Amino acid sequence: MRKISCLLLSALLTISLLVSSCKDDENDSSDLYKELNEFIWVGLYQYYLWVDNVPQLNYGNYSSDAAWRSFLYKNTDSEAFFYSLLYKYGEVDRFSWIVDNYEELEASFEGITKSSGVEFGFSPLRDNKYAAVVLYTVKNGPAYRAGLKRGDIFSQINGQDITSSNYSVVYGSDAYSLSYATITDSVASLTGNTVSLSTEEVYEDPVYLDTVYSINNKKIGYLVYNGFMSDYDQELNNAFATFKSSGIDELILDLRYNLGGSGQSATYLASMIYGTDTTDIFYKMQCNELFGNYIIDNYGEDELNTYFCDYITDENTGSKTALNRLNLSKIHIIATGSSASASELVINCLKPYMNVTMVGSTTYGKNVGSMTIKDYKSDGTLNPDHKWAMQPIVFKVSDKNGNSDYASGLTPDIYARETRENIKTLGDTSEILLKTALKDIFGVVSSQNKYVSDLRSMVLSKEFRPFASELYIKPEKFGVNKFKHSSFK
């Protein structure tokens, strides 16, 4: 078993004392940025996957404590300070972020967002304009109540043509109006009808659709799953109860709009599909040396592996619910450029165990995951001076064999694209992606389906939402739910 080096431990304990002393002595609200910058620096030092690639995060590179403090305090913009410490931000690290209100962050992980409850696909038109195409609405949300339905097309927001510079308004405004349109030869024509939408707290059940088709003496389960949200794990299990009781022969898992979420929920889903042999590794984690050694020393090296499981465990009560497992040997998974992180984890890490046929287009490309880090004081209480939290990348994932080469996305086995011209009701067997998967099940996919150009036809509005593309583990998993600078002591 590897041990934390004396050098790393000594540096960490020195920093712990420095930060604790500073927090005790400096309570002036005008100096809050100092507390925040300390919190950011030490948190990244402890957990950040690419810490060894960032010289500014090496305490040994500072000539003295004064030099270290000078570096911490020279930037009064803590958000900018955070991003300045990331490794090749926007190129290598495209995913770490920080927020000034962790309550909003935690709500989003539970499927609660302030929105109008509609997902759009922004489709390019001529002259750098876009059309907003309704992909789905959240049941009982504002858009649902306003009568928006899948396939509706709009060309203006608040009376202005939709462009790449204003289409994020759908997540940046408390209220907005949309103008209906028709599209001919990539040119929009207004119909004269408009709709006004407001935002509110929307609770989205990610189990959007589960159904069973009986076709040619086969029973085929179909699941549209739009997010890995732990608060809805039981709803997911209920869907598989339906599949199990129906005795399905095949399963089509639709992740086309699923940008990811909880790694635990991904493990539950994979276990429901494949089986619950808890000796089989679902995925492996790679962390930085300090965090990895902490896990090994406190929990054992095997804790860097996540295994298939047989129960859903309630985080509050500890009660267990048996998973409804299908024990399948093959699966069709629909995925697109808006299928990310936890979705890609499921696709990649099921492949060593079963025949996975991916239908759609190249996925988002995220093979790393994060963890929420909050600022706790030296006495173990949450810092009352602020609600900042950061979500840095802390691990890389691979399948049981170490395969993780999908930073540029996973390539489909069968290409098919949803566009504004071919959009149909989800679950309609003539809908392009579902139809393609069904054709392959029955061995009638044409060569055209296999070689259609792999271009993203629409940008998913969900991608504008904060915290959208995620694969995360909860810090409670490794006993670091309370941020303490001496947590590796």
What burial class does residue 455 get, using C-beta atoms within 10 Å of its C-beta: 0-12 exposed, 13-18 middle, 19+ buried? exposed
DSSP state of 411: P
Per-residue model confidence as pLDDT tens digits over 210-233: 999 999 999 999 999 999 999 999
Non-local (6+) Cβ contacts of 256 within 8 A are 334, 335, 336, 338, 339, 360, 418, 433
- pLDDT (mean) for 278-301: 93
Q: Supply the pLDDT for residue 459.
A: 79
What burial class does residue 243 get, using C-beta atoms within 10 Å of its C-beta: 0-12 exposed, 13-18 middle, 19+ buried? buried
User: What is the CA angle 56-40-9, rounded to 5?
Assistant: 65
- The pTM assigned to this predicted structure is 0.89
Per-residue model confidence as pLDDT tens digits over 130-161: 999 999 999 999 999 999 999 999 999 999 99
Using CA atoms in the order 401, 402, 406, 410, what is the torsion angle rounded to 10 degrees? 10
- pLDDT (mean) for 121-132: 92
What burial class does residue 381 get, using C-beta atoms within 10 Å of its C-beta: 0-12 exposed, 13-18 middle, 19+ buried? exposed
Nearest CA-CA partner of 130 in 196, 171, 181, 198:
181
Count of Cβ atoms closer than 10 Å to residue 401 Cβ: 11
- Beta bridge mates, 97: 391
Nearest CA-CA partner of 96 in 405, 397, 471:
471
- pLDDT (mean) for 37-42: 94
Q: Supply the pLDDT for residue 323.
A: 97
Q: Supply the pLDDT for residue 488.
A: 35
Query: How many C-alpha atoms does 21 have within 13 Å on its Cβ side?
Result: 8
Domains, the chain: 6-107 (no CATH), 112-203 (2.30.42.10), 207-478 (3.90.226.10)
Residue 119 CA from chain centroid, whole number:
16
For the chain, the maximum distance between any two Cα atoms, rounded to a whole number of angstroms, is 76
In angstroms, the CA 164 to CA 124 distance is 9
Cα-Cα-Cα-Cα dihedral sign, residues 449, 454, 458, 462: positive
- Residue 61 reports pLDDT greater than 90: yes
- Beta bridge mates, 117: none
Top pLDDT among 479 and 336 is at 336
Token reading at 472? 């995360």
DSSP state of 279: T
Strands 97-99 and 393-398: unpaired
- Residue 27 reports pLDDT greater than 60: no
- pLDDT (mean) for 196-207: 92
Count of Cβ atoms closer than 10 Å to residue 94 Cβ: 17
